[in-house]
Amino acid sequence: MSRHPVRGREREFERWLRRLSAAASRASGHLHSDVQPPDEAHPGEWVIVYQFDDAGRLRDWIESPERLGLLSEGAELVDGETRTQIVALADGGDPVTAVASFRVRPGDEAIYDELFDRLVAHLDRLPGFLRIERFDPVEGVQDQTVIAFTFESRDDLDRWFESDERAQFLTDLHRHTEGDRTLNIVGGFGGWFGGPGLAAVKRWKQASVVLLALVPTTLVLTQVRRWLFPDIHWVLAVLYGNVVGVAILSWVLMPSLTRRLAAWLGR
């Protein structure tokens, strides 16, 4: 639901929206609510998102006497009509994220930028692709470029891995990188965010916490592997990174991070 507040009454309007969100949280079937303030894409427009476990319970909330009463109380705070959009989310598996790290050859950064733009344009056309994130080197912290790309399922990811387009991209990339390239794959996040109070954690928050743990883990494991096994075959290097990385995330980092960030994840 998106609305514009009456000019000069924005604070009252926000408090009223948050009352609506709080009331929705007590309704049967409620999963999550979120009050979103205006941004550059929607200046002056406030959005409240309700998520329920099925359409019938969402309709019950929309037509409930409690909500209708709150709407009547706040009618004088709203400028114009309320815009409503209802979206049905299809059932599906948890998303899968792959994280690759490599060192761009000095002087080839501009060529790599072009390759990355070409990669993004291609991935945007693939079924099941969700997002790609790029982390450039930070002086004194890490000297590698890290890319994390997420698909809706492992099948979608595997189709990309086995495609001729990816093979060509890796061939083109190899000319402009030096040293080893590492790859880690992390499956669905649901098991890491299933604790009390975390049943409806937003996907972007799940991805953010996983990346917070995964990127430094990947970089550290790469350095350790170079020190201990500098001449290991690349297949064994990838296997080492996946097995050790997933073990560290599953039993060390993710349990600790989800406990420490539980309040933020639950909002």
Task: Give the residue from 60, 20, 23, 58 showing the smallest Cα distance to 36.
Answer: 20
Going along the chain from its start, the domains and CATH numbers come out as 2-83 (3.30.70.100), 96-265 (3.30.70.100)
Q: Which residue has the higher pLDDT, 232 or 188?
A: 232
By the 8 A CB rule, do 37 and 3 touch?
no
> Is it the case that residue 261 has pLDDT exceeding 90?
no
Instruction: Give the per-residue pLDDT at 93.
Output: 56
Which are the contacts of 253, defined by CB distance < 8 A and separation ≥ 6? Answer: 213, 217
Note whether 29 and 57 are within 8 A (CB).
yes
Residue of 240, 189, 192 lying closest to 217 (CA atoms): 240
Q: What percentage of the chain exceeds 90 in pLDDT? A: 16
pTM above 0.75, yes or no: no
| Backbone phi, psi, residue 196, to 5° | -60, 130
The label of the residue with tokens 């698909």 reads 151
CA dist 233 and 241 (Å) reads 12
218 to 146, 151, 168, 239: CA distances (angstroms): 9, 19, 24, 12
Look at 153 and 11; give whichever has higher pLDDT: 11
Q: What is the pLDDT of residues 61-114, one digit of tens each?
A: 999 999 999 999 999 999 988 888 776 655 555 677 777 778 888 898 899 999
